[in-house]
Structure 1
Amino acid sequence: MKNAGRFIPIIILLFARTLCSQVTFSEIMFDVATNEYHDEFVELFNLSYKDTLTITGWTFSDSAGVDGLVPYRGGTKISPRSYAVILDGSYAVNSLTYEQIIPDTVTILTITDNSFGKNGLSNTVAESLSICDSSGNVLCRYRYSIGNPAGISDEKIDLDGDDSEVNWGNSLCEGGTPGWRNSLAPRLIDFGFEDSGMTLPVFSFTGDSIPVEIVLSMFGQQAPADSLLIQIFSCYEDDPDPAAADLLLFERWFPSGPLYFLTQLPPLATGRHRLTVRVHHPMDENRDNDQLTANLDIYCRDQSLHINEIKFLVPADEPEWIELVNTGTEGIPLRGWAVSDLTDTVRIDTAAYLGAGEFMVIAGDTLPDYYRTSSQNLLILRNFPVLNDAGDEISLIDPLGSWQERITYSRDWL
């Protein structure tokens, strides 16, 4: 029996250390926007996955005073992985702020005094808060930071992490999140794409399949057992019909978790396409990173865009212009095409579209009414080259930078 007695302090010490590691401060509301005298609160979290904590005999203290904890709603126990909210002692008869906010399943406690510590939680001096058990053992301690806007609490980010400054931050919710998962807490399930999550070729040609590389990241803490869906769509950015539906190019189910894969998309028509990759999982908590978009230019190897007319000798109040024609059987997006003379180059950087057999006039300004041009067949480019009246060389340059056509004109044409 004498030997057995020697192990009692060790057992008590181990129990105290275990209990200390089971509870943590999770949120501190010290600067209230509603009722400063009655609506301050402190939130605790039971870190254990299996043990229920009993708060009988526990005390709360700040830098200046000590208060006992008594039940207000839900008894004296904190279930595993659950919250408990401590309210001002004066709350019960002076406020109803949290009655419809704190979930019914959350234990609510109050302090034996009317205010936390000596005079409530300070808004101007950072105070060190602690919870002690009935034997005076410190179970958790945290010094909150000041300077929060009124109504914005201090929240612990990773509840299982330490209480260093980097693991706490200002709540994203006015009024805080008493009894609820913290607004700063890492999401449990969050799949999404980094900015580099989709890699496309610089350009492609009609008739060629399109290689694409997809990287899906897991930003959450868990990967559920069921599958997730990856889809890739194409929208013809220069399509003259703005109501045209997205074209589904790829669809496949994958096991949940981060993934990397390469695939070949089917050939696309000539033009600039906006490709969008999307991930879908019903339990995903963050939809903001569920899709990623990138542009892809598709070129035709046999170009049918040509210079049809050059107007270089004009009256002083009339702009010079060049007319293009599409001699092919398919429409041509003009974005990326350029015209140049011997000294200047101007590139089309808007979503202009030239249908099969149609004409387009490009100029530096609007043309007189007698030309009978409209917004459909006139493209104004403010840096349009100044054409030499005596003669010049006009080049039509495709989006890849190659000369499609080169015409030398002179005054003898007239």
Structure 2
Amino acid sequence: VSISFATGYDIGFSSIAATPEDLTRKDPVSLKTCIKNFGSLPASAYSVRFFYDGNRNGHSDPAEQFSEYQGNVLAPRDSITCTALHAPVTAGENSFAALIEFPPDENRTNDSAWINVMVGSITSDILINEIMYCPAGDEPEWVELFNTTSDTIDIKKWRISDSNTSIKSWITRERKAVPPRSFMVVAKDASFAEFHPGVPFVAADFSAFNNFTPDAVVIYDNHGNAIDSVMYTPSWGGQNGKSLERVDQEWSSQQSINWGSSRDSAGSTPGFINSIARLDYDIEIGHPCQRDIIVNGKAVPVVLFSVYNIGRHGVDTILLRFYTDINNNAQPEQSEFLQTLRSDRPLPAGDSMEFSESLPQLVSGENTVIILADWPRDTNIKNNRATVSVKRGFEPRRIVINEIMYDPLPGQTEWFELLNRSDDSIDLANWIFHDKPGSTSMNSFELSSQPFVIESGGYAVIAADSTLFQMYPDLAGSESRDRIRILNRSTGLSFNNDGDDLILKDLTGQVIDSIAYIPAWHHPGVEDTRGRSLERINRDMDSNDPRNWSTCVNMAGGTPGGINSVRTTGTNSSSMISLSPNPFSPDGDGFEDFCIIRYNLSSLAATLNIKIYDIKGRLVRLLANGEQTGPQGEMIWDGYDDNRQRARIGVYVIFLEATDRTNSSVATAKAVSVVAVKL
């Protein structure tokens, strides 16, 4: 048995619709409702209120009401149409509601009506901003979208296709908001997150793009309208794991000049500003280079570079900061700060400005200089930084040639030794040495392409091959090996036995030390010098003074990596002339074989004569004859006379005469030296 009751008062909605059907975010929304009196009594004094669910909470909040209709008398079974107009709303799915207010109403179930309205976008609301159509390895293909508007856009029920537009794939069927001026990536699968963690994306199983032939990317809104499309060819860029990036969002998507390969070190920039993007405000530092200037006779490094305004608008003053990356962490730190430089004029859009900045604070060797350009309104700071390797030369004789084996025994190798006489550690990476240049060529070798650091007072040994370790087994230890470079040259180092040049140059090509040795530099008392090195006697004296070299007296024939067997050092003295050691014994045993004659003159520049007499006043040795000198210096007497005969045991008078080159005044001094023998 069915029993029905007729209500006296019952008005409600019979329909609700939104027009136009193909709404876009620029169109006002017109809501049309039909209200019917389902009751048996006339209805009056009712109203209809309209709401836009802007906060998307599914409720008709009072603040969301945008229109109201006051109804007149509505007879039973009669109906009336009510309309309301709402301003344009954001693209995507939007909800509207209509509510009837009629206090006597006996049936509230039909007093409300809801409608979901799909609002479409207009062309270029969402742009295709970056395409990874030829990824490397297992990275999936992907397309980056950019919301160009100031409103959030819901891309629910958007689709994507390649050049075959008859096959469109869903981007997402769920609500997905793209905030204003923000990015959203459409990736072929969810593995995108492994390659670009933290970048917002949706996974969509779209058709694969062509890697080596032309293809297209087309995106469609919720009405099926094409919002943006790109017809690309591989010649535009984007090959070998690099994405194809858009240059300017204001230029056409179909222009080849508006696309290019990503310049980012990672090969792409999903979720971020494109590496080649043209922005409103964007300055870029060009590739810097080095040039040296001479200041007070010394080379000072200068960095040359340009700053480009690649943005759409001009910029005012630019602040440039310079750092030296001391700890090699590729980050500018306050402790590494060098100096600042400020531009002296505005920089119009599309223009550039050249800079030249000297950096006298840089230390000798290779310096990594970081340049930062600072302008507060810049919207892309990735290109505000440049790095340049700046090489600064070393002062001469910081490193000296200390020992050379130019005539080894058969089956042994040529080698030479360097000594760091400076107070700092020095890296010999990219230093070279060569012999005497010939008419057409010379033998040139790099000491090391890797860091090769020699501490203050330390030695470095350069050998042609590893037979060095057979000659000197003590060098085979791990600590010694760090100071040795084996060049693996079966033909040796090309030293001539009858004399040659050995020239040492730093990483800038500046000559640091050189010798032009001849066999006569060997000790006259050594008949066979084969397999014996030439050793430097005093590290502070002239490298090309024959008196500063002699034959190694060590049983091994050389002392690579250690103190020279004939090494002698002078003693500091304020006297005009001093001798050390005194007595000395020139017997070739490596102990006190040489006498260092140290002098201190009042003249800044003088002509020097040093004569040695025996106890009877006979001239034994003319040690210095008209040599030019400064106020201080040293000479070595090896205990031999001018005929290269060893001086007899006894007392000798060292007579020094210095003529001032400016006023011709003459200063003289005498000292007594004793030639002895070891008991």
Q: Tell me, yes or no, whether TM beats 0.5.
A: yes
The 1:247–1:88 alpha-carbon spacing in structure 2 relative to 1, beyond 3 Å, is: closer
2:279 alignment counterpart: 187
Give the aligned partner of residue 218 of structure 1: 309
Instruction: Using the TM superposition, give the Cα deviation of residue 308 of structure 1 relative to its aligned residue in structure 2, in angstroms.
Output: 2.0
Report the counterpart of residue 111 of structure 1 in structure 2.
Answer: none
1:297–1:199 distance in 2 versus 1, CA, 3 Å: closer
- Cα 1:145–1:396 shift into 2, 3 Å: same
Q: Supply the AA of the counterpart residue of 2:312.
A: Q
1:189 Cα shift? 3.4
Q: Which residue of 1 aligns with 2:457?
A: 357
Corresponding residue for 2:338? 249
- Unaligned runs of 5+ residues in structure 2 are 1-23, 31-89, 95-118, 126-146, 161-169, 183-205, 221-225, 521-526, 531-679
List per-residue Cα deviations over 1:129-186 (Å, max 9, x = no partner).
9x9xxxxxxxx9987527799xx99986534334643155599899x98xx9889752
- After superposition, residues 363-402 of structure 1 pair within 5 angstroms as 363-366=463-466, 367-368=468-469, 370-372=473-475, 374-383=480-489, 385-388=493-496, 390-399=497-506, 400=509, 402=511
Residue number in structure 2 paired with 1:263 = 357
Q: Is the 8 A contact 1:306 1:396 kept in 2?
A: no
Is 2:389 aligned against 1:294? yes
CA contact (8 A) 2:401 2:418 kept: yes
Aligned to 1:100: 176
Q: Does the residue aligned with 1:299 lie in a helix, a strand or coil?
A: coil
Distance between the aligned counterparts of 1:262 and 1:143, measured in 2?
Answer: 45
Q: Provide the C-alpha distance between the structure 1 equivalents of 2:174 and 2:274, rounded to a whole number of angstroms.
A: 16
Partner residue in 2 for 1:8: none
SS in structure 2 at match of 1:233: strand
State whether residues 300 and 358 of structure 2, in contact with CA within 8 Å, keep that contact through their aligned partners in structure 1.
yes
Provide the residue aligned with 2:292 in structure 1.
201
Q: Does 1:73 align with 2:93?
A: yes
Q: Is the 8 A contact 1:363 1:379 kept in 2?
A: yes
Quick check: 1:405 aligned with 2:515?
Answer: yes
| Greater relative CO, 1 or 2 (CA 8 Å, sep 6+) | 1
CA distance in 1, matches of 2:276, 2:174: 20
Among 308, 317, 323, the residue aligned to 2:402:
308
Equivalent of residue 447 in structure 2, options 335, 348, 355: 348
Q: Matched residues, percent identical?
A: 14
Per-residue CA deviations over 1:2-41 (Å, capped at 9, x if unaligned) read xxxxxxxxxxxxxxxxxxxxxxxxxxxxxxxxxxxxxxxx
How far residue 413 of structure 1 moved from its aligned partner, in angstroms, is 3.2
Q: Aligned partners of 1:170, 1:355: CA distance in 2, in Å?
A: 49
CA RMSD of superposed structures (Å): 5.4
How far, CA to CA, are the matches of 1:296 and 1:204 in structure 2?
16
1:36-95 CA-to-partner distances (Å, cap 9, x unmatched) read: xxxxxxxx9xxxxxxx943889xxxxxxxxxxxx9643656879962878875899xx87
Q: 1:362 to 1:183 in 2, by over 3 A?
A: closer
- Give the Cα–Cα distance (whole angstroms) in 1 for the partners of residues 510 and 181 of structure 2: 67
For the 8 Å contact 1:188–1:221, the answer to whether it is kept is yes
SS of corresponding position for 1:324: strand
The alpha-carbon distance between structure 1 residues 97 and 285, as it changes in their structure 2 partners (threshold 3 A), is farther
Q: TM-score, normalised by structure 1?
A: 0.55
Q: Distance in 2 between matches of 1:413 and 1:122?
A: 78
Aligned-residue offset at 1:188 = 3.5
Say whether the 8 Å CA contact 2:299–2:393 is kept in structure 1: no
Confirm or deny that 1:338 pairs with 2:433.
Answer: yes
With over 3 angstroms needed to count, the CA separation of the structure-2 counterparts of 1:209 and 1:364, relative to structure 1, is closer
**1:268, distance to aligned residue in structure 2 (A):** 3.4
- Is 1:160 matched with 2:246? no
Closer, same or farther: CA 307–251 of 1 in aligned 2, 3 Å: same
The Cα shift of 1:214 comes to 3.7
**338, 348, 372: which one aligns with 1:278:** 372
Distance 2:282 2:459 in 1: 50
| 1:54 paired residue among 17, 20, 27 | 27
Of the structure 1 ranges 337-346 and 268-277, higher mean CA displacement relative to structure 2 is found in 337-346
SS of equivalent to 2:256? helix
Equivalent residues in 2 for 1:16-31 (5 A)?
A: none
Alpha-carbon shift at residue 362 of structure 1 (Å) = 0.7
Alpha-carbon distance in 1 for matches of 2:421, 2:243: 67
Q: What residue identity is the alignment partner of 2:447?
A: I
User: Structure 1 residues 408 and 248 mapped into 2: Cα distance closer, same or farther (>3 Å)?
Assistant: farther
Which amino acid counterpart does residue 304 of structure 2 have in structure 1? Answer: E
Name the count of aligned residue pairs: 317
Are positions 1:82 and 2:82 aligned together? no
- Alignment partner, residue 98 of structure 2: none
CA deviations on 1:214-243 (whole Å, 9 max, x unpaired) are 421223334567x654211234699xxxxx
Structure 1 residue 341: Cα displacement: 5.8
Report the Cα distance in structure 2 between the residues aligned to 1:122 and 1:269, rounded to whole angstroms: 55
1:155–1:184 CA contact under 8 A, matched in 2: yes
Provide the secondary structure at the position in 2 that maps to 1:372: helix
SS at match of 1:338: strand
Report if the CA contact (8 A) 2:284-2:308 is conserved: yes
- Please state whether the residue corresponding to 1:54 is helix, strand or coil: coil
